[in-house]
A and B are shown apart, each in its own frame.
Chain A
Amino acid sequence: MPERFDFAVVGSGAAGSAVAARLFEGGSRVLLVERGQRARVLPDAAEAVSRYYAHGGLAASIGNCLLPIPTGSVLGGTTTINSGTCLRTPREALVRWERSGSGIFRAGSFETYLDQAWERLRVRRAPEETASASSRLFLNGLERLGIPGGHLLERSESGCVGSGRCCFVCPKGAKLSADKAFLESLQGRPGFDLALGTSLEAVRKEPSGVLIRLREPGGKRREVSCKALVLSCGALASPYFVRRFRLGPNFRLAGKGLSLHPASKVFALFAEPLRGWTGVPQGAGLLDPEDSRVRYEGVFVPPELAALTMPLEGLRLRWWMERYDRAASFGAMIKDRSRGSLGYPLGPEFPVPRYDMLREDFSLMLRGMLFLGRVFFAAGACRVVLPLNRPPNEFSSPEELAAADLSRVRPADLQMMAFHPLGTCGMGRVADENLRLCEGVYVCDGSVVCESLGVNPQITIYAFALRLGDHLLGRRAP
């Protein structure tokens, strides 16, 4: 006989943890399934990537450019290895979703859930004393250029001391990842079961609800029946289950509509030691004053991983690495109009994203990197490296940078990453406005966000989860 729960949630990232907590706190018996394990603080960032990033951090999209997509495979999902940055869903996106829907999604109601997530995550502006050298130099460069709008970012943390390791499991436990914010008070309580190291194998609809088959550590099988199943496996994995088990009338569309919010970063060298690995790496930001599709946010990779992220090789790479204590870096992200799709030739463990970057997105990326180069030179940099895999990518003056001929650069020449995959089970396209796929089966994670937001999406995902929790509990939306 299968075990009986009211709800089963698969995936413990932002959405999974939040919806599971909301359901349990509403009086339901909840099973939360997570394929990864609990994270431990590790001394080496490279080891943290190998252990806690999906596919050892090597997942990447293919197409006309190569875009590594780091996501978490650990309790707390990507929130365990992200920067903790919180930016609200742009109001215009909410209004667009409301207007394009059938009246079920309401922007005002969603904003209430954004507020709830904001409070639960104890979001606050990064204290100035925790700002990294890169953030301070960026803000300083903006000031010298007379560009307004640079600001310290808001983050979900409590007691951050600027260890500089947000993306490799916070060593102080200060970053409020999904498991910390939503699950800590639940664990061990009757009616809440957290199944770690467990993967979803099968989903079957039954008259009384949904029957799921799980594989536990050691290969043991477990069958669970529930009133409703929530898939929260992330934008790269959830579409697999939707397609494999034909969940809903639009299951064939799952995996399409992938937006990636492509990002790249610029390195700059300064005369004085900066020790850029201390302080909050993503502590400051700016919306491009001329094009709101470009957002700038801080980033700094610790030295043990830095060589990989530099678009240089051989002796030039060594030259930079020997001076890495004097290096700063800052990133640009593009609210992309390009869309990709997912394939699963080897099953859910190996999603293969296909993504071709449109010319307009590519142009924005070039614009963003040139802007960052200008800001760093204004802040006093003596050398700047753009994220291009081929020359001209290294510049020693703002004049040289301004004269750079980038006309022959193509998307494949860009060194980029994508931290915010969204849209692969878009609300209103694959799932309905209540995030329902079919009777008893729901999806809630980055996949339901049906457009590139242009901001870090975690608060949006949390809000969707809290909203779904209330819907499943039969509560009226605020």
Chain B
Amino acid sequence: MMSASLVWPLLRAYARHAGLGPEPALRKELDRRLLLSPAWVRAGLGLSALLARWLAPLFLLGRLRRFEDLPQDEREALLERLQQDPRLPVRAAFLGLKSLVSGCCYGAPGFLERLDYRLAVPVENDA
């Protein structure tokens, strides 16, 4: 899936930055979530990931490096800048991407178990 290959480097760098993992589980979660999304959403997320990896460091930090190649403190600064950016196209793209990336990291069963939270809900009926 093209969008997964575009988002994966960003997700891996994001997860490493926050000390989250493991990577195989994250990759599996990414594929699962992308498969659930309509094609236009997948395309948008892939494009947003490209922009976040390549253009955001240049325009928001003045650094000609990809997101994953930035040192830890600059990655943190870039994430904060993206979170705080008031421009709506940037916010919309960032929130879409955040829903996927943070969902994969913090919605992964491994992370949730540490909170003593389990995804499995007993299925008792078709609502």
A residues at B contact (CB < 8 Å): 38-44, 46-47, 50-51, 55-58, 60, 62-63, 66, 68, 76, 80, 163, 165, 169-173, 177, 180, 273, 275, 277, 302-308, 311-315, 317-318, 321-322, 324-325, 389-390, 410, 412-413
Contact = CB atoms under 8 A, between A and B. Distances in A.
Nearest to A323: B115
B96 interface: yes
B79 A305 contact: no
Given A66-B95, A389-B84, A41 B127 contact: yes
A321 B76 CA distance: 16
B47 to A, nearest CB: 14
19 contacts: A38-B126, A38-B127, A46-B33, A56-B37, A58-B96, A170-B127, A171-B121, A173-B124, A180-B127, A304-B103, A307-B98, A307-B105, A308-B95, A313-B98, A314-B18, A314-B76, A318-B18, A389-B85, A413-B86
Given A311-B83, A322-B114, A50 B37 contact: yes
Interface in B46-104: 75-76, 79-80, 82-88, 91-92, 95-96, 98-99, 102-103
A308 B98 contact: yes
A38 B18 CA distance: 38
Given A317-B102, A321-B106, A321-B111, A304 B37 contact: no
Contacts of A312: 83
Contacts of A55: 38, 41
B9 to A, nearest CB: 17
A446 to B, nearest CB: 22
Contacts of B114: 322
Contacts of A171: 121-124
Contact of A41 (B38, B105, B112, B126): B126
A6 B41 CA distance: 39
A43 B106 contact: no
Contacts of A46: 33, 36, 103, 107
A434 B24 CA distance: 58
A304 B123 contact: no
B80 A165 contact: no
Interface SS, B side: helix
Most chain B CB inside 10 Å of its own CB: which residue of A41, A163, A410:
A41
B127 A44 contact: no
Contacts of A51: 36
A191 to B, nearest CB: 24
A305 B92 CA distance: 17
B116 A325 contact: yes
Contact of A50 (B36, B75, B88): B36
Contact of B91 (A57, A163, A321, A412): A412
A60 B93 CA distance: 12
B126 to A, nearest CB: 5
A384 B19 CA distance: 24
B17 interface: yes
A56 B76 contact: no
Contacts of A313: 79-80, 82-83, 98
B6 interface: no
B106 A307 contact: yes
Nearest to B126: A40
A297 B47 CA distance: 37
Contacts of B43: none
B126 A315 contact: no
A305 B103 contact: yes
Contact of A325 (B86, B92, B117): B117
Given A58-B96, A66-B91, A66-B95, A304 B119 contact: yes
Contacts of B37: 50, 56
A206 B60 CA distance: 59
A41 B103 contact: no
A163 to B, nearest CB: 7
A53 B119 CA distance: 19
Contacts of B99: 57-58, 308
A304 B41 CA distance: 19
